């Protein structure tokens, strides 16, 4: 098996590029296009193929924390998220016979109140507890995705 993430980072589809909200030397922060149940749901992905957190260089580690802080502040400012849940899972790679995990982080903004944005109401029915994923994903159209990305980019400081 080859890494599924490397081609997305090195040769992104135009849709992937428009969903990128921060680009660093070592990391790319991208909105999750197929799930905006919680506005600002994102990935922060290593540009190089690295399979474990312990293999990150000091420079990569420092830049990750900088990009995470920028993105967290921007999402909170743009949409009023109460907290950002961050996880590094990489489990799905191990479904393959020859797994090639690629370090990336999932950011899930959590909302105490409903969010009204671009004609949609976004709810966080499990606020205050772990996300079970038992409710359907909110898949929004390109115009709403672009509006979410634009609002986050405008909130970057």
Task: Tell me the CATH class for 6-155.
Answer: alpha beta
Q: How many CA atoms lie within 13 A of 20 on its CB side?
A: 15
The domains of the chain are located at 6-155
Estimate to the nearest angstrom the gap between the alpha carbon of 23 and the chain centroid.
Answer: 13
Q: Could you read off the pLDDT tens digit of each residue along the chain, which spans 157 residues?
A: 588 899 999 999 888 899 999 999 999 999 999 899 999 999 999 999 999 999 999 999 999 999 999 999 999 999 999 999 999 988 788 888 888 999 999 999 999 999 999 999 999 999 999 988 787 888 899 999 999 999 999 999 7
DSSP string, 10-58: HS--HHHHHHEEEE-SSEEEEE-TT--SSTT-EEEEESS----GGG--H
Give the single-character DSSP code of 59. H
pLDDT of residue 104: 96
- Residue 136, C-beta contacts closer than 8 angstroms, at least 6 positions apart: 37
**pLDDT score of 135:** 79
Three-state secondary structure call for residue 97: coil
pLDDT of residue 141: 93
Give residue for tokens 């990336």. 104
- Burial, 38: exposed, middle or buried (Cβ in 10 Å; 0-12, 13-18, 19+)? buried
Q: What pTM value is reported for the model?
A: 0.92
**pLDDT in the model for residue 111:** 98
Tell me the pairing of strands 115-117 and 120-122.
antiparallel
pLDDT of residue 93: 81
Q: Give the position of tokens 């772990």.
A: 130
> Would you state the pLDDT for residue 31?
97
| Structure confidence at residue 108 (pLDDT) | 97
């Amino acid at each position: 098996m080859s890494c599924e993430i490397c081609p997305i980072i090195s040769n992104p589809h135009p849709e992937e590029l428009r969903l990128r909200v921060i680009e660093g030397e070592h990391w790319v922060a991208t909105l999750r296009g197929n799930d905006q149940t919680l506005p600002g749901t994102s990935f922060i992905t290593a540009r190089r193929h690295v399979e474990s957190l312990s293999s990150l260089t000091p420079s990569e580690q420092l830049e990750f924390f900088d990009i995470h802080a920028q993105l967290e502040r921007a999402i909170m400012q743009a949409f009023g998220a109460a907290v950002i849940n961050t996880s590094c899972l990489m489990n799905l790679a191990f479904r393959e016979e020859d797994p090639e995990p690629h370090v990336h982080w999932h950011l899930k903004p959590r909302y105490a109140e409903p969010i009204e944005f671009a004609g949609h109401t976004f709810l966080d029915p499990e606020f205050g507890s772990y996300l079970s994923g038992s409710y359907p994903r909110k898949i929004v159209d390109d115009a709403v995705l672009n509006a979410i990305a634009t609002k986050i980019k405008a909130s970057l400081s």
